Amino acid sequence: MDTRTVFFIGKPGCGKGTQAKLLAEKTGWQVISAGAQFRAIASEDTPVGRKIKSEIDVGDLAPHWFAMYLYLKALFSVGDTASVIFDGFNRKVPEAELVIDSLKWLGRPITIISIVVSDEEVRRRLAGRKITEGRADDNAVDERLKEYYAFTDPALQLFHREGNLIEVDGEQTPEVIAAAITRALGIQ
């Protein structure tokens, strides 16, 4: 199988993390999650940890330069022939531009998978996840949706113009979504 660099993008609660995990289980590819990294930093009692925690608690996205620092640090640790899955690193236009530029520079192919769900489905899923996982960022659903429309939707348009965006209906079962993703990627 050829080297792949796959990014998951979508509204909060659309299933990015679940689908990244399912794809990794099928392929053996490493998953690098922006959310997991930010939550780990937010748990630290440091100035940066407290600042990230305060932003997560109100539903704000981290500054694009910080997200890109984490992304580039992770990308540069990936081997030449290793495939990798990035979850949630390309949520703003400057991030999308850097993702495209960095992967072109390295000569790595890129695929962006957008998991599409309605706002109503986001509210339903995050209400359930708040109960089961207790994630603080799930308290600020409306703010997170505003951030999505203000920042992530324009990034999606950039990926669409670049021709490397695959949209998948995210309002199906996780297994049906995973099958659609592997079909779109040409994975058996």
pLDDT in tens, 55-108: 888 877 778 888 899 999 999 999 989 999 999 888 889 889 999 999 999 999
Nearest to 12, CA basis, from 31, 30, 38: 38
Does residue 188 sit within a domain?
Answer: no
The amino acid at residue 144 is R
φ, ψ for residue 186, nearest 5 deg = 70, 30
Q: Which residues 6+ apart lie within 8 Å of 147 measured at CB?
A: 59, 60, 61, 91
Find how far residue 169's CA is from the centre of its chain: 16
Does residue 2 or residue 145 have the better pLDDT?
145
Residue 187: per-residue pLDDT: 93
Range of the domain at 168: 5-183
Residue 29: per-residue pLDDT: 97
Confidence grade of residue 133 (pLDDT, cut at 50, 70, 90): confident
Compute the distance between CA of residue 52 and CA of residue 58 in angstroms, rounded to an integer. Answer: 10
Q: Which residues 6+ apart lie within 8 Å of 152 measured at CB?
A: 9, 10, 11, 91, 92
The sign of the dihedral angle between the CA atoms of 89, 20, 51, 129 is positive
pTM for this entry: 0.86
Domain with 76 in it: what CATH number? 3.40.50.300
164-182 residue pLDDT tens: 899 999 999 999 999 999 9
Model confidence at 111: pLDDT above 70: yes
Q: 55, exposed or middle or buried, with CB in 10 Å at 0-12, 13-18, 19+?
A: middle
Does residue 68 sit within a domain?
Answer: yes
Lowest mean pLDDT: which of 21-25, 74-78, 124-128? 124-128
Does residue 131 sit within a domain?
Answer: yes
Compute the distance between CA of residue 63 and CA of residue 140 in angstroms, rounded to an integer. Answer: 18
Confidence grade of residue 19 (pLDDT, cut at 50, 70, 90): very high
Does residue 58 sit within a domain?
Answer: yes
Provide the domain count of the chain.
Answer: 1
Instruction: Give the containing element (helix H, strand E) for 113.
Output: strand 111-116
Residue 135: per-residue pLDDT: 66
